[in-house]
Structure 1
Amino acid sequence: MMELSADALEWLAVDGLLIVAGGLIKFRGWTGLIAGYDETSTVPDDVVQDAVGNTVLRVGIAALVFGILVSVMPLPSYLGILAGAVIVLDVLRMVCRVNVWSPQAT
């Protein structure tokens, strides 16, 4: 039986939660899972659902791939930092998309 390292388990557990949360936000409209989002916002729910749901799903899938890689082969330690930086950049991109949304953009 294959033994999973603590790093692999961490990445695989986080990705599972992120994929579930992203699916709930994007496909079920659970905008209540979004920290700081208020339904009285000028940005419509469907725009927020799409932007945030896609981002959370992308991050979850990336974490799944990284977790699988960590579980099957030893990776250099800097790849964890690189993966974290990519996740931060993706979240910043999503925040910018939601904050600069205008009715004419749709």
Structure 2
Amino acid sequence: RLDGAYGAVAALEVLRTLAESGDSMAERVEIVGFSDEEGVRFKVGLLGSLALVGELDVGRLRGGQDWKGVPVPQVLATAGRDIDRLNEAKQHLHAVKA
């Protein structure tokens, strides 16, 4: 029910409300959003989630391309990401409590 842009805005609103109320939880909450979780562009669903838990098959992704024929590594580089570092996102999970 909270998918897409609505889910992102709802999360931001909750965090804003916490901050305005002075709740210290607002300082400990991080919002994470993913795009193309259905895998429409690269035919790899949950790409961001898999990277976040260190389970992304980078080898499979490396050979992929989008519907325009643009290689995945090139698309990622354009967005400032290095395909070889995607699974490093897992390093930030040590403090996750939910």
What TM-score does the superposition give when structure 2 sets the normalisation length? 0.31
- Higher percent of residues as helix: 1
Higher relative contact order (CA 8 A, sep 6+): 1
What TM-score does the superposition give when structure 1 sets the normalisation length? 0.29
